Chains A and B, each alone.
Chain A
């Protein structure tokens, strides 16, 4: 099919029935940061889950960088591990039994062979994780854990970064710090980002394009 918008890095057209209402989303995101903005409960996280392959849409099609990840009609449904979507969850989901170093390295070896985005030392320097490497996740502060989660996703060699409310649980100084990190990922690493938020200010500062998702 050639109906994907020209120049779009991510193209999503999916629908999923969840209880009473249906999540139906259609957008084509260019390079840079695209925000999915909407009130809580609108299904923003579900959209990220569908793109990452953790939730199966009832119908539709998802392509990233020209590759079809999901196409109900064509029977294509790539496994999450084959989608190349770095996902920073709202609840982070750092592996509690692994030190920061091993959390960061979890997806790295495979990524090295396929499509490394940046090296381990590079990522550690980029996110300022040097002093944290031997710590266990439970000993990290909110901002530190957030940076580790972002580093872990970047080191898995993603083609697309999914960020789910990455600033919502942080105090203002940490917010500014993580926001700068996100801007650098957008501008220096040139990684396409889908950014879920309910905060207009955040979105106005970061996003090149905004997709509104309403209930």
Chain B
């Protein structure tokens, strides 16, 4: 049914999106917790920085990544010293997708954290739970619907990422050419119409599959506080 090239595109897209979202999750959660639970000077700046990829043209985000992670960039130079480069690699595509997914993931987790009464953790402390156990047994499970929603939104965003990826790591078949990039490439070819249709149908199927999977996951959870946050986000 699918050609070898098409399988390659699908496998690469899934790998990039999964790695992007899972890699992004710890940062997204930490940022969401910071924004939901702490009051500090510079909070507005952190909030704005997190949301930047949402409002900037993706090309600009890709270009900024190029500046930061290029061989002579501040982070890229440091990584190069360790023998690591994300330039023109699928890891770079995952990085771009992760950065683009970050604001959506932070928003969704933050909403669910803000719906949780922090005094529940205080109650857990009086019952003998240390700071960490109180967090892990009360706040974390209550935030789970928000975390699941963040994973779904982030995955969808990562799967559709185009502008930042093509600017940052170009469109290299088999390495950085994910579904949207492959569709764009096929559009440039004079007789690529059939390929465009096939790839477009593929991306519709992938997105539908992700949505159905997430719906099932979220529905299986108990109904409780935090659930509202998921409904609001989805």
Contacts and interface: CB of A to CB of B under 8 A. Distances in A.
B125 A153 contact: no
Residue among A53, A80, A87, A111 with the highest chain B CB neighbour number at 10 A: A80
A161 to B, nearest CB: 11
B224 A96 contact: yes
Interface residues of B, number: 20
A153 B127 contact: yes
B107 to A, nearest CB: 22
Contacts of B122: 54, 80, 93
B123 A81 contact: no
A81 B141 CA distance: 20
Interface in A26-51: none
A102 to B, nearest CB: 10
Contacts of B117: 93
Size bin of chain A's contact surface:
20 to 34
Nearest to B221: A97
B123 A110 contact: no
A107 interface: yes
Contact of A54 (B125, B128, B225): B125
Given A54-B122, A89-B119, A91-B119, A97 B141 contact: yes
B124 A106 contact: yes
Which of B120, B122, B123, B141 is packed against the most chain A CB atoms within 10 Å?
B123
A156 B127 contact: yes
B120 A93 contact: yes
A111 B128 contact: yes
B128 A110 contact: yes
Q: Which of B127, B130, B137, B225 has the most CB of A within 10 A?
A: B127
A87 B123 contact: yes
A156 B128 contact: yes
A205 to B, nearest CB: 26
Nearest to A92: B123
A12 to B, nearest CB: 17
Contacts of A80: 122, 125-126
A138 B226 CA distance: 14
A93 B119 contact: yes
Interface of B: 117, 119-120, 122-131, 137-138, 141-142, 222, 224-225
Interface of A: 52-54, 79-81, 83, 85-87, 89, 91, 93, 95-97, 106-107, 110-111, 136, 138, 152-153, 156-157
